[in-house]
Structure 1
Amino acid sequence: MKTTEETRIIPLNPQVDAPADELQQKLADENWRKSIPAQVFLNYFFAINYHIQENDDVLGGLQNLPFFRSHTAELSDADVAALTKLLHTSWSTEYALRATAELGDENFLRNALHWTFPQAYHAILSGLQAFLYTTGVRSNNGQLIRREVGRLVVKNAYPRPVSFYAAGAYGDFSIHRLPLAGYKAGLHIASKEIDAQAQIGQMLRTTRKMKAQWTRQQVQANPNTAIRSQKTGRPLDKWTAAHWQQITWRLGYTTIFDLLGRLRISESTREIERYVEADIDFRLFHSSLLNIVSYLNGIHETYVAKALGLERYRELVAELPVHLQSGFVQERLRTRVEPVLAPTPPTAPAIAAESQQFRMAA
């Protein structure tokens, strides 16, 4: 019997499960999906900076606020020393933040988020504490500081670009002083005011939601404050709108300072690792943070200068440590503080030592 030998044919071009470009596209899509939380976070802070730039005037708007015009304080030598210490802390932290943003390349800035997040937060916090000190609030308690600055925002102590806030109970939040905040926020960088306000509004709502959920956990974990079932006497697992309403007073107002508090929360959790690994514009992230820090610190410095008296504040700036001389503090004094407090401020030379990149942030 004759057998036929089968010949195995090996193709010259083996079949590939998926083309290389398709695999690359899948990888790119996966990287983008993983980067979305970081991109949204960048969008938030870019939107805040965009909103500030679009709505700010040359003098920051402080001179138009009745609260600012009536701001005074009686300060002893010990008070002046305490204020000086707070300002030095704020300025030194901002100095470190600026050095990172100025000297770092993209890779460095990516990994620098581990310390630039807390630097941005604490640079603003110390300046805020200096301002609050002149209003009689002299505490390091974070909850007290947040509550008091919330009241000041609502009282119009801050100019329009940063006077927005959220209020109301869980599930029924209201956004104030952001008329376009009700629009749906996109995943793209803001290019119009409507985009910026929508993203800020979204951040206010998510931040207040996080605060409400955290407050509920604290209330229910405490036997003395827990809301209980009338039938069993046990702490309730499910809440109605009425239950959420009962804790609303504990939330205070949600302001830009709560949004900045997200930097501290992110830095202290695994969330920071997701940002470091994400595919986003880290240079844009740092420049947005820096501009926000500079804007808010300029407001607080002007309040402190008004409380101290402009001449005493000038002396304080003139006596700065070496690393802070001829830099952003003097530039803000010249461009932000003196124009508000002195009708005809003395002529001061432009600061040549600062790079062009950071003059915009003074």
Structure 2
Amino acid sequence: METPIIPLVTEEQKQAEETWRKSIPAQVFLNHFFAINYHIQQADDAMGGLQHLPYFRAHQAELAETDLPALTKLLHACWSTEYALRATAELGDEDYLRNALHWTFPQAYHTITAGLQAFLYTTGVRGNNPALIRREVGRLVVRNAYPRPVSFYAAGAHGDFSIHRLPLAGYKAGLQIAGKEIDAQAQIGQFLRTTRTIKAKATRLQVQANPNTALRSQKTGKVLDKWTAAHWQEITWRLGYTTIFDLLGRLRISQTSREIERFVEADIDFTLFHQSLLNIVGYLNGIHETYVAKAMGLERYQQLVAELPRHLQNSFVEERLRTRVAPQLNTQETPVLRMAA
């Protein structure tokens, strides 16, 4: 009787390997956000670190009573979206959280953006143009308006990027969840580089598609197909800085796109993904809330929180006010809002 041949690799093993291979892009994405959260947790102090920043101590705003409705509207949008994001995390088991990515990705992005707009409003930047917001927050990050854990950024031309305020970012990023600060910084560095590369290539396409801005051959006058380092350098000013807010912008994935399906079908830890997102959201929203409270005055901000809609009362908003916002402002001078004439 012929001895049956036992394959070295079973069909189940092949299937598992294929699933793992398909999961790699999603795993890398999870790693990046886990790394950001890890980096924040390692470096964060109890209150968020703003009180050490000269920019924060000097932050003042020319706000009138007439500005309060606009600020309140932005904060309500920020908090209601965070409320929805938190509700998903609390309700969901692994399968639910897997499918919830269709809305939790954009929710995480939009809650942070609304809070950021409220902060920018106090600096005199009014409007919701994404390019304007991106440019202004990039400048604020570089000017040290944000605590160390989220003050990192990338600059420079395509092929010659420099990473700032992440001293370990040059190390090779692994495929594993960060277990040490060196792993976290390496993965954040990789995320910054890939995100800036995407931005650089998109900018090149945009520039070259416009006859008025396209770079041309000096000999023939034709639009250039091939670029040298010097050509990339010419458009670098258009890129601005690449910051944590650009990384969060990668969450804006259309729910109809193929990319979101890759995440939904991937074999990754969705609970960990949501927890990382929630922690990043809470940290950044807390920073923006503190700036807004400093601009309008702690007492007026406390009143705003006390008058929140029912679903936001006695919630994370009040907790952050008590544990993060108020402690950093109690030593500051309280501004007085100018009454409208």
TM-score normalised by the shorter chain: which range applies? over 0.9
> d(CA) in 1 for partners of 2:61 and 2:256?
36
2:304 alignment partner, one of 293, 316, 321: 316
Match in the other structure for 1:307 = 295
Q: Which amino acid aligns with 1:272?
A: I
1:105 alignment partner, one of 75, 93, 110: 93
1:168 alignment partner, one of 138, 151, 156: 156
Does the CA contact (< 8 Å) of 1:117 and 1:267 recur in 2? no
Match in the other structure for 2:188 = 200
Instruction: Measure how far apart 1:106 and its partner are.
Output: 0.4
Match in the other structure for 1:37 = 25
Larger radius of gyration: 1
2:263 alignment partner, one of 267, 270, 275: 275
Q: Which amino acid aligns with 1:326?
A: N
> d(CA) in 2 for partners of 1:51 and 1:280?
21
Instruction: Measure how far apart 1:185 and its partner are.
Output: 0.1
Match in the other structure for 1:151 = 139
Q: Which amino acid aligns with 1:290?
A: L
Q: Which amino acid aligns with 1:87?
A: L
Q: Which amino acid aligns with 1:206?
A: T
Instruction: Measure how far apart 1:17 and its partner are.
Output: 7.5
After superposition, the C-alpha distances for 1:107-136 in whole angstroms (9 at most, x for unaligned) are 000000000000000000000000000000
Instruction: Measure how far apart 1:343 and its partner are.
Output: 4.2
> d(CA) in 2 for partners of 1:16 and 1:137?
72
> d(CA) in 1 for partners of 2:300 and 2:256?
38
Instruction: Measure how far apart 1:63 and its partner are.
Output: 0.5
Q: Which amino acid aligns with 2:82?
A: E
Does the CA contact (< 8 Å) of 2:253 and 2:260 recur in 1? no
Confirm or deny that 1:250 pairs with 2:238: yes
Match in the other structure for 1:233 = 221
Q: Which amino acid aligns with 1:85?
A: K
**Partner-residue secondary structure (3-state), 2:242:** coil
**Partner-residue secondary structure (3-state), 1:263:** coil
**Partner-residue secondary structure (3-state), 1:284:** helix
Match in the other structure for 2:56 = 68
Instruction: Single out whichever of 223-232 and 151-160 deviates more from structure 2.
Output: 223-232
> d(CA) in 2 for partners of 1:18 and 1:78?
75
Does the CA contact (< 8 Å) of 2:105 and 2:253 recur in 1? no
1:79 alignment partner, one of 45, 64, 67: 67
Instruction: Measure how far apart 1:268 and its partner are.
Output: 6.4
> d(CA) in 2 for partners of 1:253 and 1:310?
32
Confirm or deny that 1:261 pairs with 2:249: yes
Does the CA contact (< 8 Å) of 2:106 and 2:253 recur in 1? no
> d(CA) in 2 for partners of 1:226 and 1:95?
45
Q: Which amino acid aligns with 1:102?
A: E
Q: Which amino acid aligns with 2:290?
A: T
Q: Describe the shift of the 1:160–1:197 C-alpha distance in structure 2 as closer, same or farther (beyond 3 A).
A: same
Q: Which amino acid aligns with 2:146?
A: Y
Match in the other structure for 1:333 = 321
After superposition, the C-alpha distances for 1:34-76 in whole angstroms (9 at most, x for unaligned) are 0000000000000000000000111211001111001111212
Does the CA contact (< 8 Å) of 1:118 and 1:267 recur in 2? no
Higher RCO by CA contacts (8 Å cutoff, separation 6 or greater): 2
The number of residues matched between the two structures is 332
After superposition, the C-alpha distances for 1:80-102 in whole angstroms (9 at most, x for unaligned) are 11000000000000000000001
**Partner-residue secondary structure (3-state), 2:154:** strand
Does the CA contact (< 8 Å) of 1:165 and 1:175 recur in 2? yes
**Partner-residue secondary structure (3-state), 1:175:** strand
> d(CA) in 2 for partners of 1:333 and 1:118?
25
> d(CA) in 2 for partners of 1:76 and 1:264?
34
After superposition, the C-alpha distances for 1:291-342 in whole angstroms (9 at most, x for unaligned) are 0000000000000000000000000000000000011000000000011001
Match in the other structure for 2:115 = 127
Q: Which amino acid aligns with 2:126?
A: R
> d(CA) in 2 for partners of 1:75 and 1:160?
28
Q: Sequence identity, in percent? A: 78
1:47 alignment partner, one of 35, 53, 58: 35
Q: Which amino acid aligns with 1:294?
A: G
1:214 alignment partner, one of 180, 202, 222: 202
